[in-house]
């Protein structure tokens, strides 16, 4: 009887840990942790996707500005971001977890912080195989603080991606259709319907990913995907932006900047208005991403300051009470929680939000979520087929009998040029 109880407890503990791990990807950061960035170290790359053998860098700030022992571990995952059924030694060479040794104290900033930084692979940990990965950062007691996704791929196949207007006349002015071809000469695929899975990302936002389309046609060593509505995205609108590189004065899209409590600056943005009934206007941006930078120092990692950024949205009154508005972008991993949820101010008649953010150039947008959890990224700003979106197609491969999923190719394009 005692052994049965132990077994049941073990199953419950394992289930709880798996559930906790899944929830950690979507939960807000701890209050003292800010500006978590996980990116390829290649020039002008903003996404956590690298070729096998390339380097990726994780960095974050601790606003408590002391010296802590933070640790990290890496988990290989399957297509659905569940832990793979393989041992750590099959995907890692070196330590299974390690301490983050590289950290520096901020310099000449009103908001003190400690900047932590980690590069993978490193002398203590090397990735051996491609696939989906999750990196977990823990405190000295091994309590998980936050997690970030990243992808390692090996270029075994070529992926050609094209953007079209919607085939449905009803949505021809508001949606974009993605078609792609997987070319695999020299790479044997026995059963594409089972062994190959695909993922289409718009601006690297996992909330709107289109998953696991099956090839429609075969042509020699080509798998062809020419779907209609199944691979169609709302085009949305160009991202809004602000640039706080000069924290002491108002600049483009920043109305004013004032020093507030504890000498921390307040960055007040201009009021944004709904754009869904306005003509489309092109805004150059970086597809929802952000870049930390400052004119007040030479090293933005430790010399960029923090300010309280105030967002204002005019919707001509309060929305349906069953809907909530969020400010989102790559800066918060496209999450939607109390940290970035706007509140309606009856006195000003505006939706308002304030967040502490590091100096830099930021793309952002307004997302609406109803009580059913449905995300609508165009209810506030509309959707226009001309919008410049970045599209990425990832190809996953799990050979029959294999115990883990590889990522064997990636295709990338944007919607600046349509094929029809």
Q: For residue 53, which of 120, 136, 132 has the smallest C-alpha distance?
A: 120
> Of 81-85, 120-124, 247-251, where does mean pLDDT reach its minimum?
247-251
Mean of the per-residue pLDDT values of the chain:
91
Reported as a pLDDT band with limits 50, 70 and 90, residue 24 is: low
Q: For residue 419, which of 227, 158, 177, 204 has the smallest C-alpha distance?
A: 177
Give the model's pLDDT for residue 286: 93
Model confidence pLDDT, tens digit, residues 68-79: 999 999 999 999
Residue 187 has pLDDT above 70, yes or no: yes
Q: Is 222 exposed, middle or buried (0-12, 13-18, 19+ CB in 10 A)?
A: middle
> Of 101-110, 248-257, 349-358, where does mean pLDDT reach its minimum?
248-257
pTM of the model: 0.91
Give the model's pLDDT for residue 351: 97
> Of 14-23, 155-164, 292-301, where does mean pLDDT reach its minimum?
14-23
Model confidence pLDDT, tens digit, residues 36-52: 999 999 877 899 999 99
What is the rounded average pLDDT of the residues 165-192?
94
The dihedral built from the CA positions of residue 380, 385, 387 and 393, taken in this order, carries a sign that is: positive
Give the model's pLDDT for residue 5: 37
Model confidence pLDDT, tens digit, residues 372-413: 999 999 999 999 999 999 999 999 999 999 999 999 999 999
Reported as a pLDDT band with limits 50, 70 and 90, residue 14 is: very low
Residue 285 has pLDDT above 60, yes or no: yes
> 254: which residues sit within 8 A by CB, 6+ positions away?
242, 243, 244, 267, 268, 269, 270
Give the model's pLDDT for residue 289: 97
Model confidence pLDDT, tens digit, residues 93-105: 999 999 999 999 9
What is the rounded average pLDDT of the residues 117-123?
96
Residue 139 has pLDDT above 70, yes or no: yes
Q: How far apart are CA 217 and CA 193, in angstroms?
A: 11
Domains of the chain: 26-153 (2.60.40.10), 158-235+386-414 (2.60.40), 240-376 (2.60.40)
Give the model's pLDDT for residue 23: 59
Model confidence pLDDT, tens digit, residues 347-358: 999 999 999 999
Reported as a pLDDT band with limits 50, 70 and 90, residue 2 is: very low
């Amino acid at each position: 009887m005692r052994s049965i109880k132990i077994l049941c407890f073990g199953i419950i503990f394992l289930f709880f840990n798996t559930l906790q791990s899944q929830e950690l990807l979507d939960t807000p950061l701890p209050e003292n942790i800010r500006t978590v960035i996980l990116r390829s170290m290649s020039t002008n790359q903003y996404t956590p996707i690298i070729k096998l053998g390339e380097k990726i860098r994780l960095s974050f700030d601790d606003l408590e500005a002391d010296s802590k022992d933070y640790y990290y571990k890496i988990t290989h995952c399957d297509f659905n971001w569940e832990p793979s059924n393989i041992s750590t030694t099959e995907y890692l060479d070196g330590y299974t977890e390690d301490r983050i040794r590289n950290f520096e104290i901020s310099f000449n900033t009103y908001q003190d912080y400690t900047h932590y930084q980690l590069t993978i692979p490193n002398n203590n940990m090397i990735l051996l195989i491609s696939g989906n990965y999750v990196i977990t950062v823990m405190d000295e007691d091994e309590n998980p603080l936050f997690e970030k996704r990243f992808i390692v791929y090996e270029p075994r196949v070529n992926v050609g991606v094209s953007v079209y207007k919607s085939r449905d006349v009803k949505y021809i002015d508001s949606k974009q259709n993605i078609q792609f071809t997987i070319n695999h000469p020299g790479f044997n695929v026995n059963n594409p319907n089972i062994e190959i899975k695909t993922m289409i990302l718009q601006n690297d936002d996992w909330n709107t990913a289109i998953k696991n389309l099956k090839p429609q046609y075969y042509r020699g060593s080509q798998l062809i995907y020419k779907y209609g509505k199944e691979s169609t995205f709302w085009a949305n609108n160009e991202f809004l932006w602000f640039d706080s590189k000069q924290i002491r004065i108002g600049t483009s899209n920043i109305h004013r900047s004032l020093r507030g409590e504890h000498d921390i600056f307040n960055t007040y943005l201009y009021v944004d208005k709904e754009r869904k009934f306005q003509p489309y206007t092109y805004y150059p941006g970086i597809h929802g991403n952000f870049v930390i930078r400052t004119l007040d120092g030479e090293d933005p990692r430790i010399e960029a300051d923090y300010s309280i950024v105030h967002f204002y949205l005019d919707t001509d009154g309060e929305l349906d009470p069953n809907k909530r508005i969020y400010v989102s972008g790559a800066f918060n991993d496209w999450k939607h929680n109390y940290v970035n949820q706007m509140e309606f101010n009856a006195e000003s008649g505006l939706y308002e939000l304030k967040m502490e953010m590091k100096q830099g150039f930021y793309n952002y947008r307004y997302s609406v979520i109803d009580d059913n959890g449905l995300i609508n990224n165009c209810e506030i700003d509309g959707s226009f087929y001309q919008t410049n979106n970045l599209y990425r197609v990832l190809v996953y491969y799990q050979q029959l009998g294999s115990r883990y999923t590889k990522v064997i190719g990636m295709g990338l394009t944007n919607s600046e040029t349509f094929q029809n």
